[in-house]
Structure 1
Amino acid sequence: MIEVRNLYYAYKGEQYVLKGINFSMGEEIVALVGPNGSGKSTFAKHLNGLLKPTRGDVIIDGEDTRDRTVAELSRKVGYVFQNPEHMFFEESVFKEVAFGPKNLGKSEEEIEELVSWALKSVGLEGYEKRAPYSLSGGEKQRLAIACVLSMKPKYLVLDEPTTGLDAKAEKSVVKTIKELKKNGHGILLITHDMDLVLELAERVVLFYKGEKLYDGSVKEFFEISLEEYSLETPELLKLARKFNVGFVKSLDELMVAVSGDGT
């Protein structure tokens, strides 16, 4: 369980950018949304110790982040940054994924097993000898996830995982996220993509000016006036409202609802 209690954070010499945040999550997909500057990434960096609270507490599976190093916390919470290329510096996919376990002191046999498992988990088996920078956008994103997975974290923070991807690449990343959830990982999904929230999230948290304004169901979240927070209502929900059929999460659901409504 991730538990955040009354979290305040201020960068040196500045005002608080996080103000009294309370939050918890387990093995679920939670979408963290809000306009730029609302504190989403600052908050997420507290979960693996990249930042420490100015006030309040961040507890990961019973351990206070103040008492643990980033390396120790990375075994519990893996952070996949918005631009995956910033994570790459090795000459091959295998070496890239092996870097984390190697630094954890794993044996060669353990490293082989972890790399194989991580690449299979994201659908990149057979890519071991490829150069990371030769991969497509979606493949790079999945490789970044594999690099984090190889350290066997229970929780994953995915920061804008589909930004800049074409439809095919986005679909492959979405499939990977669904598989990760099925395999028991808790996932914090930071995104501006409301279609992604609609498809993947089991719960939504809305930040605005460093405060948590909403924490609840996906259905009720989309009843909020999102435009006030620089967020866009998915086209699917706009269409559903035109047909007056209520909340739906897929085009198939919309078609069934419309057909059942007799329109």
Structure 2
Amino acid sequence: MTHLVLNNVSFQYPDGTQALENVSLEIPQGQRIALVGQNGAGKTTAVKLMNGLLKPTTGEVIVGEWNTTSKTTAQLSRKVGYVFQNPDDQIFHNEVIKEVRFGPKNMGFDLERVEEMTQWALELCGISQYAEENPYNLPYSMRKFVTVASVIAMDSDIIILDEPTAGQDKIGLEILGNLLETLESLGKTVITITHDMEFVTTHFKRIIVMANRRIIADDQAMTIFYQDDILTESMLKPPAVAQMAALLNIPHAVLSKKELIAYIKSHYQPLSSE
């Protein structure tokens, strides 16, 4: 089982920009976590430290039994798979299937497992029909799924998705939701950066909020989206359902459409047709 631990981690870029300050975090294997906050909060820096793309200026990042400072990014990719925010920064093959196949092949899987993981990842991401296409002939939303599939096929214990909801329509969000549930059922840890608060409340039990280069909250949605101080500091807007509940002066936390509709039906009488 691969635990992920950040112990009092800070990071400063070579130009002197301080990106993280004294961040401590523990993530057991198998959790599904949303990492939220405004641009510049430190989210992407934090996840790049998790897979070794960056090394901490101070503190330590532990992945399983490994300290990331003593391992290369290639070594860490066996434990931590990272999907970039921009798919065009990651895709370099001229066929979707070659792109997805590259990861497991490079990991040294035997040919049978390479094909098994490749086909499974394509199907899970809903892009099997595009296997022979050039990724750059696909729309942005589908290119994002190409990169997700290429990382999933590597069978890493920890998978980081940086803004996977960007540019997705309803069908794409449904595929992502099903994908998250499948990975969790397989014991994978999935850390997802997203600005889509509706997606967060629907698909994540644990939410980590970052602001001003540090973690300011680590809790469930019911707590986070009803704490004004957290929302103010992080500049996050609660999901639309919570905003509607506030307008209706509902005296308890509401985050699901089903619960909101039930409350309205029980407390408001329909207008008479007479």
Q: What's the TM-score, normalizing by structure 1? A: 0.92
Partner of 2:245: 240
Partner of 1:251: 257
Query: Secondary structure of the residue that 1:5 maps to in structure 2?
Result: strand
Equivalents in 1 of 2:187, 2:145: separation in Å?
Answer: 18
Offset, 1:157: 1.0
Supply the AA of the counterpart residue of 1:234. Answer: P
Partner of 1:24: 26
Offset, 1:107: 3.2
Equivalents in 2 of 1:194, 1:227: separation in Å?
Answer: 15
Which residue of the other structure, out of 124, 128, 133, is the alignment partner of 1:125? 128
Q: Is the 8 A contact 1:245 1:261 kept in 2?
A: no
Q: What's the TM-score, normalizing by structure 2? A: 0.88
Q: Is the 8 A contact 1:245 1:257 kept in 2?
A: no
Supply the AA of the counterpart residue of 2:237. Answer: E
Offset, 1:245: 5.2
Which residue of the other structure, out of 85, 88, 93, is the alignment partner of 1:82? 85
Alignment length (residue pairs): 263
**CA offsets 1:180-212 (integer angstroms, 9 cap, x no match):** 223322111112221121112211111111121
Supply the AA of the counterpart residue of 1:21. Answer: V
Q: Is the 8 A contact 1:245 1:254 kept in 2?
A: no
Closer, same or farther in 2 for the Cα pair 1:208/1:75, shift >3 Å? same
| Superposition misfits of 4+ residues, deviation over 3 angstroms | 257-263
Partner of 2:9: 7
**CA offsets 1:59-89 (integer angstroms, 9 cap, x no match):** 1112111121111111111111111232112
Identity of matched residues, %: 34
Query: Secondary structure of the residue that 1:90 maps to in structure 2?
Result: coil
Q: Is the 8 A contact 1:7 1:57 kept in 2?
A: yes
Equivalents in 2 of 1:140, 1:178: separation in Å?
Answer: 21
Equivalents in 2 of 1:137, 1:252: separation in Å?
Answer: 32
Partner of 1:205: 208
Mapped pair 1:63 → 2:66 = yes
Q: Is the 8 A contact 2:210 2:234 kept in 1?
A: no
Offset, 1:135: 2.6
Q: Which runs of 5+ in 2 are unaligned?
A: 270-274
Offset, 1:125: 2.9
Supply the AA of the counterpart residue of 1:153. Answer: S
Equivalents in 2 of 1:106, 1:208: separation in Å?
Answer: 40
Q: Is the 8 A contact 1:245 1:258 kept in 2?
A: no
Equivalents in 2 of 1:84, 1:249: separation in Å?
Answer: 31
Offset, 1:261: 4.8
Which residue of the other structure, out of 235, 238, 251, is the alignment partner of 1:230? 235
Query: Secondary structure of the residue that 1:239 maps to in structure 2?
Result: helix
Offset, 1:91: 1.5
Equivalents in 2 of 1:44, 1:5: separation in Å?
Answer: 14
Q: Which moved more, 1:165-174 or 1:213-222?
A: 165-174
**CA offsets 1:108-154 (integer angstroms, 9 cap, x no match):** 33321221122222233343212212334433222211100111111
Equivalents in 2 of 1:128, 1:216: separation in Å?
Answer: 39
Equivalents in 1 of 2:234, 2:10: separation in Å?
Answer: 21
Closer, same or farther in 2 for the Cα pair 1:137/1:13, shift >3 Å? closer
Equivalents in 2 of 1:52, 1:135: separation in Å?
Answer: 34
Mapped pair 1:45 → 2:51 = no
Query: Secondary structure of the residue that 2:51 maps to in structure 1?
Result: coil
1:153-172 matches, cutoff 5 A: 153-172=156-175
Partner of 1:190: 193
Query: Secondary structure of the residue that 2:49 maps to in structure 1?
Result: coil
